[in-house]
Amino acid sequence: MSSHSRRAAIQSISQKQPLPPGGEPENLEDLFGRNVFGLQQMRARLPESAYRALESCIERGQELDPGLADLVASAMKEWAVERGATHFTHWFQPMTGLTAEKHDSFLDLENGKILLHFSGKQLIKGEPDASSFPSGGLRATFEARGYTAWDPTSPAFIRENASGATLCIPTAFCSWTGEALDKKTPLLRSCEALNRSAVRMLKLLGDEKVGFVYPTVGAEQEYFLIDREFYLLRPDLIATGRTLFGARPPKGQELEDHYFGSISPRILAFMHESENELWKLGVPVKTRHNEVAPSQFEIAPIFERTTLSTDHNMLTMEVLRQVAQRHGLHCLLHEKPFAGINGSGKHNNWSMATDTGINLLDPGQTPETNMRFVVFLTAVIRAIDTHADLLRVSIAHAANDHRLGANEAPPAIISIYLGDELNAVVEGLVAGGSGPNRDPNRKTMRLGVNTMPPLPRDATDRNRTSPFAFTGNKFEFRAVGSSQSISRPNIFLNTIVADSLDQLAAEIEKLEGSAGLEGAVQQVVQQTLAKHKRVIFNGNGYSAEWHAEAARRGLPNLRTAVDAIGAYTAPGKVEMFERHRVLSRKEAESRQHVMYEAYVKAIAIEAQSAAGIASSMLLPAATTYQRQLAESIEAARRSGAKSLARQERRLQETADRIEAALGALEALQAAFEKADHHEGGGFEHARQFRDGVIPAMNSLRDACDALELLVDDELWPLPKYREILFVH
């Protein structure tokens, strides 16, 4: 039956043509931001004073007078209704890592007459009563109501669909007691923290002009595209986003013929439409190309302020999924959809910028800019070394465990790649501050005296193996998973760098009186780099030697999500989050709890799905084949021909292995159902899943993948890797 569907799918896919474009081709300039209520639209529709207030809120982080809400709401509604919107929604990012919305229409009745109504109150605050979102225990159900609050720093936008249009208002989501229930609130707080600390440091270094600093991010998104007909024949993909079974194809990615190869017309049509959609939403997507694995692609935007690029990355993932469906394709954002084939990540390019137009990680040409760059670089190096464990937490989830350290993505050890030129500068700074230089061949670097050598903007892949690489004027955090929201990595990055800047500033202030500013900076930089340069590693992060070397250096190696999550609330971490008003203890603890819960849920769903597929689809295929084989062996015996006894024996052995693995997995599941879930806490529960359920699933898979290679191809119910990855 199913094999028939598999054949039919291949037949039908081979006939598919690229979807023609929806309308007339449009000018990119007209298209970009068309569905966004941005500064230009505000300027056109708001009184001058209201516009100025909003602008300084958005551009310079100043507080907004709530009295303006009615004006903004009415202008926003008018603009949206002109564009065909009938509904509005507060668009928010709960701790599921997805986005959420609840639509209300603009419709109102007054004295029996219809009005289109949208008040300032509705703009500013919504009550989605969203009691089913994970809160990690922050809300008991009797007080489950949370509210959403408008985030004026991210512009409202219109989502169009076949049946209408909805005005989406980016919001934060909080409990009535003020705790953050989402990923946006702490991100906004962390941007404020970085602003405070960076401005303090710049003032200390003598920059009086800067008023505001914000982090910038460009998130490169990797994904797989497969045909939707194959997707619908794979219950594992539908339930878990990854294939739980599948023998390796004879040809994988060994030939490397896909990377940057030409893009097929059907895929190109999909890319074209998704880019158009994203441009309309103001998402500045810029590049697209094939990735290393077959059927894998990447889309990358131009960088923006972090809060905006985080919203835009969420929109990018949504749009990719939706547009793929229209093209008869399915977009897989999972970190590891196919075993043995490269997985997907999301490179989080990160830097800091000032309202005066300076990129704080841009190495300068003059002694002053040199000093500024070196101080901010030192702060980042110190932050990453001190909080490598937190950075590891920020990318910890079940799916990412398949990638990290698997010779395709950076290892779970967090280190920094600087490149030879910048590394020499760091070594020079360490040597330069330490009195008479004993080694005449060693170049020293003195701030205010020496200038920086030119640093190459790294456009190559030579730092591919590093989780945190300097690429000329920004850092690239490369261990982030493809499916995850980039909010947590950025919340942590902003906070640890803010903390580090504060520490350095305090030390410089202490020495400034005796040593002068330059002397104080030189000393603090030298001491800090000497202490923290152990986190710098410019070699091959995939190598076994690096694991040994990292252990010698005392760098943490938290191999799995379960090992990492606990560091969220390790000694000193919560105090730091509290110091910068990013997360309270209660909030941090609840988030850690949500992470353990999500881990357990993900593995439990996989286990259930694997057991179901093995017993209801794969074993029956084995039985059918066994019967056919027995018949032909019998016929062969009667006619005196050579028998297929060896094939039958292997089939029986494999089926026995499956039965045994299935039995073990089901016994574990039954035990977990009986056990009290809270016994031993989140860590213990997650650890049991990692050490019990995952190995049991792996044995089941091994046996089933062996079966796939034995059973008559006609009878196999699941589309095979060689089909999913190469037929489109």
Footprint on this chain of ligand ADP (rule: CB under 6 A) = 216-218, 220, 300-303, 349-351, 359, 459, 471, 473-474
Is 538 or 647 the residue whose CB approaches ligand ADP more closely? 538
* Distances in whole angstroms, Cα of residue 146 to Cα of each of 73, 106, 169, 478, 593: 22, 22, 17, 34, 19
Which of Mg ion, ligand ADP, none does residue 303 bind (CB under 5 to 8 Å by kind)?
Answer: ligand ADP
Least Å from the CB of residue 347 to Mg ion: 4
The nearer residue to Mg ion, 221 or 240, going by C-beta atoms, is 221
- Give dist(CA 725, CA 728) in Å, integer: 8
Nearer to ligand ADP, 474 or 690 (CB): 474
How long a stretch of residues is the chain?
Answer: 728
Q: Between 421 and 702, whose beta carbon lies closer to ligand ADP?
A: 421
Please, is 59 exposed, middle or buried when counting C-beta atoms within 10 Å of its C-beta (0-12, 13-18, 19+)? middle
- Sorted by sequence, the CB contacts under 8 Å of residue 174 that are 6+ apart come out as 146, 147, 148, 149, 180, 181, 182, 185
Using DSSP's 3-state secondary structure scheme, residue 688 falls into helix
Report residue 327 as tokens.
């093209």
Closest CA to 546 of 440, 415, 382: 415
Residue with Cβ nearer ligand ADP (302 or 667) = 302
Closest approach of Cβ 306 to ligand ADP, in Å? 9
Q: What is the CA radius of gyration of the chain?
A: 28
Least Å distance, CB 424 to Mg ion, is 24
Question: What phi-psi label fits residue 358: left (phi over 0), alpha (psi between -120 and 50 degrees) or beta?
Answer: beta
Contacts of 682 (CB under 8 A, 6+ apart): 565, 592, 593, 595, 596, 597, 600
Handedness of CA 73, 78, 83, 86 (dihedral sign): positive
What's the closest the beta carbon of residue 223 comes to ligand ADP, in angstroms? 15
The entry of ligand ADP, Mg ion, none that residue 546 binds, CB within 5 to 8 Å by partner kind: none
Which of the choices ligand ADP, Mg ion, none does residue 687 contact, using the CB cut-off of 5 to 8 A by kind? Answer: none
- Residue of minimal Cβ distance to Mg ion: 347
Looking at the Cβ atoms of 346 and 402, the one nearer to ligand ADP is 346
Nearest distance, CB of residue 457 and ligand ADP, angstroms: 6
Burial of 608 (0-12, 13-18, 19+ CB in 10 A): middle
Q: x/- site string to Mg ion, residues 294 to 333, per CB under 5 A?
A: ----------------------------------------
Number of residues that bind Mg ion (CB under 5 A): 2
- Per partner kind, with CB cut-offs from 5 to 8 A, the member of ligand ADP, Mg ion, none near residue 217 is ligand ADP
Among ligand ADP, Mg ion, none, residue 471 binds (CB under 5-8 Å by kind): ligand ADP
Taking the least distance from each CB to ligand ADP, the nearer of 220 and 589 is: 220
Question: Toward ligand ADP, which CB reaches closer, 264 or 359?
Answer: 359
Q: How far apart, in Å, are the Cα atoms of 42 and each of 34, 52, 708?
A: 13, 10, 60
Q: How far is the CB of 29 from ligand ADP (least distance, A)?
A: 20
Residues pairing with 175 in the sheet:
146
Judged by beta carbon, residue 302 or residue 660, the one nearer ligand ADP is 302
| Interaction pattern, residues 330-359, with Mg ion; x per rule: CB under 5 A | -----------------x------------
Token readout for 125 is: 């605050």
CA 600 distance to own-chain centroid: 19
**CA distances (Å), 490 to each of 183, 189, 306, 477, in order?**
10, 11, 8, 10
Site string for Mg ion, 665-704 (x = CB under 5 A): ----------------------------------------
**Collapsed DSSP state (helix, strand, coil) of residue 167:** strand
Using CB under 5 A as the criterion, what x/- string covers residues 220-239 for binding Mg ion? x-------------------
| Closest distance of CB 479 from ligand ADP, Å | 16
The CB-of-475 to ligand ADP minimum distance in angstroms stands at 9
Contact region for Mg ion (CB under 5 A) — 102-110, 216-224, 591-599, 603-611?
216-224
To the nearest whole angstrom, how small is the minimum distance from the Cβ of residue 474 to Mg ion? 10
Residue 601, C-beta contacts closer than 8 angstroms, at least 6 positions apart: none
Select 346 or 728, whichever has its Cβ closest to ligand ADP. Answer: 346
Give least dist CB 525 to Mg ion, A.
28
- Provide, rounded to whole angstroms, the least separation between the CB of residue 708 and ligand ADP: 38
Percent of residues in the chain assigned helix, strand, coil, to nearest 5: 50, 15, 35
One-letter identity of residue 279: W
Q: Which of the listed partners (ligand ADP, Mg ion, none) does 216 bind, with a CB threshold of 5 to 8 Å by partner kind?
A: ligand ADP
Q: Phi, psi (5° rounding) for residue 18?
A: -60, 140
Residue with tokens 């800067």: 210
3-state secondary structure at position 98: coil
**Is-contact 183 100, C-beta < 8 A?**
no
- Count Cβ atoms within 10 A of the Cβ of residue 209 and give its class: 0-12 exposed, 13-18 middle, 19 or more buried: exposed
> Which of 493/555 has CB closer to ligand ADP?
493
Query: With CB cut-offs between 5 and 8 Å by kind, which of ligand ADP, Mg ion, none does residue 459 bind?
Result: ligand ADP
State the nearest-atom distance from the C-beta of 303 to ligand ADP, in Å: 3
Which residue carries 């131009």 as its tokens? Answer: 302
Measured from the CB atom, the residue of 146 and 489 that comes closer to Mg ion is 489
Q: Rule CB under 5 A: which residues touch Mg ion?
A: 220, 347
